[in-house]
Amino acid sequence: MSLKTVKKKKESSRSLFYRISAWLHLWLGLITGIVMIIVCLTGCIWVFQDEITSVFLEPESNVARQEKPVIQPSQIMAIAGQAYPGKRVSYAMYHQGKAIEVNIGGRRRGGTTLKLNPYTGQIISKTERKEGQVSFFRWILNGHRFLWLPFEIGRPIVNYSTLIFVITLITGMVLWWPQKWTTSTRQQSFSIKWNGKFKRVNYDLHNVLGFYSLLVVMAISLTGMVYGIEWFSKGLYWTTSGGKTLPGFNDTHSDTLQTRRPYTPAQAMDLAWNKVARKHPEAKGFYMTFPDSSERKTVINVTVYPSIGKFYDNQGYAFDQFTLAEMPKHEVYGTSFSEAPAGAKLRRMNYDIHVGSILGLPGKILAFFASLIGASLPITGFIIWWGKQKKGKKGKGRKSKESAGKLPNAVPSAQAIRPSPIRAANGTVLLPTVQPNSTPGLD
């Protein structure tokens, strides 16, 4: 039986499901490989953006916590107005142990970022950016979200490449699963043969590391799809909430019919912030948006963060900029985390699951290495495929060389023929004579 026949029999012994999975795994992986390498590598870097910024990029922004009251929003407005007359404060972020980050003029149109000492109001740093200019981590995030392409082009590519990547993870699990569990297959499935040849080590890196990182990479991929694919986001919420529709972010707006303003903009900001701060005395951070007085519909938004480095338990508030009347709370993000239903809790944990911070620093480390492995899978997979392609070409070349030295349908020489004996009627054996250099039957 030829080697080719054995190979065909081995392939045919696999189920149709396995063969379809293998085909999908190969071609879908080749199609989306480069995209997922970029997405996974930028995700690795983004996971530790807070730590990298704090230690290497902006160490001056670290301000030790003190038993003193922090400056009020009205003071932030006064400091910004003095440094940049005529420009409006867009938002401010308080984080315990950090400088207050203040944006002036808007993030998307360039603008200026001030870092203020939360206890004295001293300006620690000023960063002015032109339109389109972004910080290092904003650049990393842009690559992660839309490959540095125009948003309307890059975003769908990333979103649906991630969906395809999830399919390759599932089909990869099908290919990883041995036909029969033996001592040998267990060793091959769960361990890397580091002393093997390059091809073997590369195969193990793809096969074994892919298995160990499967659940984490799958969780990161699915939570990423929540942000980009609307039908998936709504479907996941509907499934996890018991059939509820995901509520949208309906724009709340201030009472534009209000003829008088009981408070100045600075007073309104202080009152709104203090109202939220009194409800959450143990909060570790706040995010506030300052309304544009020229846009009467805009509101004061205050988001409180009870934990450091986590976002799932945040709670948002919105106030009328004129009367300070509290707006209706969002069904998912407006209530406290403990009071939210299961589906809303899972949705609120989405970002923390995506970056691993749901488990603290160990979770971030886990997400980092899982993303790194995710970036390596298209590379090791391509090397496996390329090696098979080269092997196939070599096999064909060797076959053609071997067949080139043979005549088709060649007749064997006379010396190779052993004639059958012929018996006469009396039993005597008569051997047919063969002339030298002759071919029997053709002379």
CB of 284 within 8 A of CB of 308?
Answer: yes
pLDDT at res. 2: 52
Q: What is 320-339 written as a DSSP string? A: ETTT-PBPPPPTTTSS-GGG
Place of tokens 């969002």: 330
Token pair belonging to 202: 């590369």
DSSP E strand stretches across 240-330? 285-289, 299-305, 315-320
Q: Is 189 helix (H, G, I), strand (E, B) or coil?
A: helix
In three-state secondary structure terms, 304 is: strand
**Local structure of 115: helix, strand or coil:** strand
Amino acid at 271: L
**Phi and psi for 316 in degrees, rounded to 5?**
-105, 145
Per-residue pLDDT of the chain (443 residues; tens, 9 = 90+): 554 554 555 555 789 999 999 999 999 999 999 999 999 999 999 999 999 999 999 999 999 999 999 999 999 999 999 999 989 999 999 999 999 999 998 766 668 999 999 999 999 999 998 888 889 999 999 999 999 999 999 999 999 999 999 999 999 999 999 999 999 999 999 999 999 999 999 999 999 999 999 999 999 999 999 999 999 999 999 999 999 999 988 778 888 777 678 899 999 999 999 999 999 999 999 999 999 878 889 999 999 999 999 999 999 999 999 999 999 989 999 999 999 999 999 999 999 999 999 999 999 999 999 999 999 999 999 999 999 988 777 766 666 655 555 544 444 444 444 445 545 444 444 444 444 443 333 33
Q: List Cβ<8 Å contacts ≥24 apart for 200-204.
A: 202/380, 202/383, 202/384, 203/380, 203/384
Q: Residue 60 corresponds to which amino acid?
A: E
> CA neighbours within 13 Å on the CB side: how many for 38?
19
Query: Measuring CA to CA, which residue among 123, 65, 132, 122 is closest to residue 95?
Result: 65
CB 289 within 8 A of CB 295: no
Asked if 99 contacts 116 with a C-beta cutoff of 8 angstroms, the reply is yes
- Exposure class string for 149-178: b at 16+ Cβ within 10 A, else e: eeeeebbeebbebbbbbbebbebbeeeeee
Distance CA 257, CA 372 (A): 55
C-alpha–C-alpha distance, residues 313 and 304, integer Å:
9
Largest CA distance in the chain: 139
CB 93, CB 53: distance < 8 Å: no
The predicted structure's pLDDT at residue 402: 59
What is the structure's pLDDT at 351? 98
The answer to whether 172 touches 212, Cβ cutoff 8 Å, is no
Q: pLDDT at position 111, please?
A: 84
